Chains A and B, each alone.
Chain A
Amino acid sequence: MKKVFERPKSLKDTPSHFCPGCHSGLIHRLVAEAIDYFKIQERTIGVASVGCSVFLYNYLDVDVIEAPHGRAPAVCTGIKRVRKQNIVFTIQGDGDLAAIGTSEIIHTANRGENITVIFINNAVYGMTGGQMAPTTLLGQRTTTSPYGRDVQQEGYPVRMVELLSGLEGSAFIARAAVNKPANLMKAKKLIRRAFEMQINNMGFSMVEVLSACPTNWGLKPLEANRRVEEEMIPCFPLGVFKEKIQGSEDSRG
């Protein structure tokens, strides 16, 4: 018999700190698979953000720097401008990217920085204990929206993919989920495509991946997966929202 499933080479053999049923481990693996697929491990530089994603260097066997909260796209910019031959990416959560780092992500996308952002959206602040995030769903109870997110009080969930795909500088913007095998396979392709865009010098690429946070949602892993399907995906629709074609007028590749 032949082994048909193996740990990607660029993913370290370290047990993760993620909670049971959290999708972050899956998403890290998909990033590692993309790095292996393009054989770019030795020229990839990762930027860790603040939140559950901070231990990037424990999992991805590439050079890594830790950025301040929300600033990963600016740190990526600095690295990429110095080292254009390297592949630069970050994994950011929703608090990091869509709240405190809104300015950095918008302007990095707008400049068309040739970097790749993997945006894990679990609609909650995970590391700090389940507080309301900019992407928290309407009615969703969190430790700081104990009565459920209320439009009058807290406004609507922010849709970063829709926002960023409206900027001329962005090259590839997509949203995926990993809550079931079919979605996971699509997510795998989209993450690979995002890195491919960078390799082809196409400019800014981002894939938002919807993720379950069973611990802070107060749900069992399978219930959390159902919530992704039934509540998150209707609010954050999946698909490719922006894709520049290589050689076209608006592409740099």
Chain B
Amino acid sequence: MTKVAKKGKIAILKEICKGCGLCVDVCSQGILGLGDEMNSKGYYFSRINSEKNCTGCAVCAEMCPDLAIEVWRKSNISGNSRK
């Protein structure tokens, strides 16, 4: 489920995700959406719709109350740093 994009990539930890959708709302590229698949706790977890536009800005991960998103970014690209 980990998808490599040009600038950044993310992975959703589907068993941790509670499907609140806060990440979907904040993604400037609109690459996230709530799926129709349920995890073992019964949540419709977030999924990546179009990974190729991911900038690796990590805003989705920052907003995730459950630390269910991992983010990678190409090191030469300056994005929205957490610092």
Q: Which residue of A lies closest to B71 (CB)?
A: A5
A184 near B63: Cβ-Cβ < 8 Å? yes
By beta carbon, the residue of chain A nearest B66 is A25
* A9-25 at interface with B (beta carbon < 8 Å): 11, 15-16, 18-25
B65 near A25 with CB under 8 A, answer yes
Whether B59 sits at the interface, judged by CB under 8 Å, is yes
A5 and B20 within 8 A (CB): no
**A-side interface size class:** 20 to 34
Contact string against A for B residues 28-62, beta-carbon threshold 8 Å, 1 for contact and 0 otherwise: 00000000000000010000000000001011011
B1-45 interface bits toward A, Cβ cutoff 8 Å, 1 = contact, 0 = none = 000100011000001101111100110000000000000000100
| Residue of A with least CB distance to B79 | A4
In the bound complex, CA of A48 to CA of B64 (Å): 23
Chain A stretch 176-205: residues in CB contact (< 8 A) with chain B:
180-181, 184-185
> In the complex, are the beta carbons of A21 and B65 less than 8 A apart?
yes
Chain A residues positioned under 8 Å from B75 (CB to CB): 1-2
CB distance from B80 to the nearest CB of A (A): 8
Whether A3 touches B20, Cβ cut-off 8 Å, given contacts A18-B65, A26-B63, A184-B62, is no
B side interface size, CB within 8 A: 33
* Per-residue contact bits, chain A 93-126, to B (CB 8 Å; 1 contact, 0 not): 0000000000000000000000000000000000
Which of A4, A19, A20, A23 sits near B58, CB closer than 8 Å?
A: A4
Q: Using known A-B contacts A5-B62, A184-B63, determine if residue A21 contacts B20 with beta carbons closer than 8 Å.
A: yes
- Determine if B72 and A221 form an interchain contact, defined as CB atoms under 8 angstroms apart: no
Give bound CA distance, A220 to B4, whole Å. Answer: 31
Q: Does A225 contact B (CB under 8 A)?
A: yes
Contact of A22 with B65 at beta-carbon distance under 8 Å, contacts A2-B73, A2-B75, A5-B70 already known? yes
Given contacts A21-B22, A221-B21, A222-B22, 19 further A-B contacts (CB under 8 A): A1-B73, A4-B56, A4-B58, A4-B71, A4-B81, A4-B82, A5-B58, A5-B61, A5-B62, A5-B69, A15-B16, A16-B66, A18-B65, A21-B20, A25-B65, A25-B66, A26-B64, A180-B63, A225-B22
Chain A residues within 8 Å of B, Cβ to Cβ: 1-5, 7, 11, 15-16, 18-26, 29, 180-181, 184-185, 214, 220-222, 225
| 23 pairs of residues in contact across A and B, judged by CB atoms under 8 Å | A1-B72, A2-B72, A2-B74, A3-B70, A3-B72, A4-B56, A4-B58, A4-B73, A5-B62, A7-B67, A15-B15, A15-B16, A18-B65, A19-B18, A20-B20, A21-B21, A21-B22, A23-B65, A26-B63, A26-B64, A181-B62, A181-B63, A184-B62
